[in-house]
């Protein structure tokens, strides 16, 4: 057995946010998409892993968000995509962001969108100052539009 070929079938979890593009698993594990350029290439490369460990049905790239994964795009504006704004998914996102808050500036703009067309835009500082859970903060932002 070639151990190298076996090892590259599994993505390596990250310990913190890199400001590169990432996937966040439903159990709070962060995966950088590097060396891939786009998220779907990472998914295609690790399809067997995703189907085996997370029971994501094929085509995996079409169902990964429905399986409660979170797509993260770093940069000046942080773009985050989820399937729906459910308490479960948003709580997972909130936990990940708080675990990495040292890497997030108060004026970082965050654009959170669902595949259902919902969009909430805010700064990290606005959220922190609200004292609310991320889910409640987003619900309030949506109702104030």
Q: pLDDT tens across 53-91, in order? A: 999 999 999 999 999 999 999 888 999 999 999 999 999
Block residue for tokens 């409660």: 68
The predicted structure's pLDDT at residue 4: 46
The predicted structure's pLDDT at residue 12: 83
69 closest CA partner among 119, 126, 99, 31:
31
Starting at the edge strand found earlier in the chain, the sheet holding 22-24 runs 30-32, 22-24, 70-73, 77-82, 109-114, 119-123
The predicted structure's pLDDT at residue 101: 86
Total domains present in the chain: 1
**What domain range is 30 assigned to?**
3-143
- Asked if 36 and 45 touch (Cβ cutoff 8 Å), the reply is yes
The predicted structure's pLDDT at residue 82: 98
The predicted structure's pLDDT at residue 24: 97
What are 109-144's pLDDT values in tens digits? Answer: 999 999 999 999 999 999 999 999 999 999 998 776
Beta bridge partners of 119: 113
**How distant, in Å, are the alpha carbons of 18, 89, 118 from that of 83?**
22, 9, 10
């Amino acid at each position: 057995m070639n151990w190298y070929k076996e090892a590259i079938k599994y993505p390596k979890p990250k310990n913190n946010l890199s400001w590169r593009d990432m996937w966040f698993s439903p159990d709070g594990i962060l995966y950088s998409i590097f060396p891939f350029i786009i998220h779907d290439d990472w998914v295609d490369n690790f399809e067997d892993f995703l189907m085996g460990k997370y029971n994501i049905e094929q085509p995996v790239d079409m169902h990964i968000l429905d399986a409660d994964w979170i797509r993260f795009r770093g940069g000046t504006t942080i773009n985050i995509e989820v399937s729906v704004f459910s308490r479960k998914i948003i709580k997972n996102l909130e936990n990940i962001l708080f675990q990495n808050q040292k890497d997030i500036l108060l004026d970082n703009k965050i654009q959170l969108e669902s595949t259902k067309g919902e969009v909430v835009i805010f700064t990290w500082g606005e959220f922190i100052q609200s004292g609310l859970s991320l889910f409640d903060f987003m619900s309030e932002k949506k109702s104030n539009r």
